Structure 1
Amino acid sequence: MIRLPSRTEWTDEEDRLGFFGPDSVTWRVHADPSFSVGGLRALLLQALHPVAMDGVAQNSVGFTQEPWPRLIRTATYVDTLTFGTRTEAVRAVARVRGIHRRLGGTEETTGRSYRVDDPDLLLWVHCCEVDSLLSVARRAGVPLTDDDADRYVAEQVTAAALVGVDPADVPGSTADLAAYFDRMQPELAATPAARDAHRLVVLPPMPTWVRYLTPAQPAWGGLASLAVALLPVWARRMYSLPGLGLTDAAATPALRTFRQTLLLLPRRAQRSPIVWAGFDRVGAERLSA
């Protein structure tokens, strides 16, 4: 397991800027309102790895009844890792590592015994997140060149190393990332646990008053529909779902409309306070939309 860096390894200025900083492509991608759709796509993609999905199903107590706390914790972790100081980021990673090292199990369909922090499982989760956040941002209209996309994948090697993956094993370009998914496809399957996770993302449990007296259900349904439609074709085939009525061609304009609508809202409604605290801390203006 790769060791965590120490506070003595960086200057105060490096600490203030965090591991990525306002000049990174990572900040451009993760600050964008399309982040929410990319995060859901990542969860759906991650669920297709039988062992990684079993780790969630067996060790996330209450996830199937009340998924919101876990989804919020995951988003908070990524925001802190991206926009927090280096000290804050390492503290968040240490908490996650401490939880992971205690968890494991045996996945029924493969018979594999595992620990949640097995490097190949951490790498799968990482690659699904990177691929999803990048591909959704580009289709949403975030201005990213091919060089920017490669920079983003390379920058994210740092995130994988922090959680415990050997940097030498982590894709460092979009071509490397595509090759990784090509290699992984034979190992993937829509297990019963994956299908349960899919249903949970698409139709999460909500209190009756929220479901019928607020716009939460249709709003979430729109997000979930986009996330499903934006999955790779091979992943949608595994789930045997076309995308909740949205074709691949229709998903891009729908996603761009969603993003432009959110960009009109006050910034606190677009992303979490952690994101904007990072901007304020380094004195950065809002990044180009």
Structure 2
Amino acid sequence: MGARAQQDYGFFGPDSVTWKVWGYPTSIVLGFLRAVVIEELDPYLVASVDQSGQVKQRPKLRYDRTMQYFATVKFGDAESVLRASDTLMKIHTRAVGHDPVTGGRYDANDPSSQLWIHLTAWHSILYTYEIFGPGKLTEAEEAQYWNECARAAEFQTIDPADVPRTREGIRAYFAAYRPRLAGSEVAQDMMDFLLDASTTVLPERMPTPIRVVFNAVARRAVIATLPRWMRKLGATTQSGLTDRVAVALTRPVVRAAAASTWVQLWALRLASPRTAPILEPVLRRTPPMHPVVREPAEARAEYGVTDPRVQYAAILAERERQSGPAPYPKHHAEELLPFPA
């Protein structure tokens, strides 16, 4: 069955560094797992995840849906990106509540929280690409990558001006954010759970021996990319020798997968069936019906979708009036995002 042609190239396209890095096999498991594991150190985020309960109740589905969203933003056509962003914005409107660690309140749409998730993902995808894939980008490519990171921020409540545009800026951001992180019992438990790649990534039908070996290597490979202070905070320590062995075992497998479109699609269908149809046209180089890269403001005007920052301002105004949708109850059944599949 052939790949479905999309309407346009969305907001990045084949000349983007985003397609080059996010379309590499490292993003499917290693980069994505690294990002979601690190994210749990933010007490507001982990409070939201813990009180939702969905990650542990439906880990495979949550992994699949989150991968699908990220893939849609990077590789989907403009309308798909805007509809997905708009839907997620509305779902996050009810994801507010009390954080027992800091005593504050979390808000899934808060720009600061969104920026933490956004930069953790973009940095993790790039870093695993460098460690397990082709290596570092050129200086020009890296500059383009962070500029594209700022463009992707436009589909959340983040002000693109807050997105660093250099590696040094990214490092400075994480250094400034570090005091806000907490290695709480909940965070450590969630990090340990997410590092079980056999639960989050592999389908249940996969034979147990394969699951055990896959998890043993993937878990250690992801931990090998974490800085020492972060491992200590998350109770995910391992030796330098284990780091080197994990990288040595993983790197040739990833590079072999990168050489075969068939292998990449097979792995995608196993790990994230919802993501495979989005990436298939990219991997097969199937051009869209209109081979153009769109501008966010122009596309929003065409499809009648409001900027997330404007939506968030309206949400905050509703809360001031003590109106708007009620917060989700603990361990609720989340809505399914109506993404193309």
TM-score when normalising by structure 2: 0.72
| Match among 12, 35, 45 for residue 20 of structure 1 | 12
Partner of 1:7: none
Q: Which secondary structure state, in structure 2, belongs to the residue aligned with residue 70 of structure 1? A: helix
Partner of 2:90: 98
Cα gap change, 1:247/1:147 in structure 2, threshold over 3 Å: closer, same or farther?
A: farther
The amino acid that maps onto 1:280 is T
Map of 1:63-102 to 2, 5 A cutoff?
63-102=55-94
| Match among 17, 31, 40 for residue 47 of structure 1 | 40
TM-fit CA distance, 1:16: 0.6
TM-fit CA distance, 1:257: 1.6
Query: In 2, Cα distance between the equivalents of 1:101 and 1:239?
Result: 29
* Larger RCO (CA under 8 A, 6+ residues apart): 2
TM-fit CA distance, 1:169: 1.2
Cα gap change, 1:205/1:104 in structure 2, threshold over 3 Å: closer, same or farther?
A: same
TM-fit CA distance, 1:235: 1.0
Residue 253 in 1 paired to residue 248 in 2? Answer: yes
Residue 281 in 1 paired to residue 287 in 2? Answer: yes
TM-fit CA distance, 1:64: 1.3
The amino acid that maps onto 2:218 is L
The answer on whether the counterparts of 2:33 and 2:195 sit within 8 Å (CA) in structure 1 is no
Tell me the alpha carbon deviations over residues 65-113 of structure 1, each in whole angstroms, 9 at most, x when there is no partner. Answer: 3311111101011111111101111111111111111111111110011
The amino acid that maps onto 2:279 is V
Tell me the alpha carbon deviations over residues 225-246 of structure 1, each in whole angstroms, 9 at most, x when there is no partner. Answer: 2112111222112123324886
TM-score when normalising by structure 1: 0.84
Q: Which secondary structure state, in structure 2, belongs to the residue aligned with residue 160 of structure 1? A: helix
Query: In 2, Cα distance between the equivalents of 1:190 and 1:246?
Result: 24
Query: In 2, Cα distance between the equivalents of 1:221 and 1:261?
Result: 20
| Match among 178, 202, 209 for residue 171 of structure 2 | 178
Query: In 2, Cα distance between the equivalents of 1:169 and 1:106?
Result: 26
| Mean Cα deviation higher: 109-118 or 264-273 | 264-273
TM-fit CA distance, 1:174: 1.3
TM-fit CA distance, 1:63: 1.9
Q: CA RMSD in A?
A: 2.5
| Match among 182, 191, 216 for residue 221 of structure 1 | 216
- Alignment length (residue pairs): 269
Partner of 2:312: none
| Match among 216, 229, 233 for residue 228 of structure 2 | 233
TM-fit CA distance, 1:160: 1.5
Q: Which secondary structure state, in structure 2, belongs to the residue aligned with residue 241 of structure 1? A: coil
Gaps of 5+ in 2: 1-5, 269-275, 292-341
Q: Which secondary structure state, in structure 2, belongs to the residue aligned with residue 108 of structure 1? A: coil
Cα gap change, 1:243/1:76 in structure 2, threshold over 3 Å: closer, same or farther?
A: farther
Query: In 1, Cα distance between the equivalents of 2:254 and 2:79?
Result: 32
Moved over 6 A (4+): none
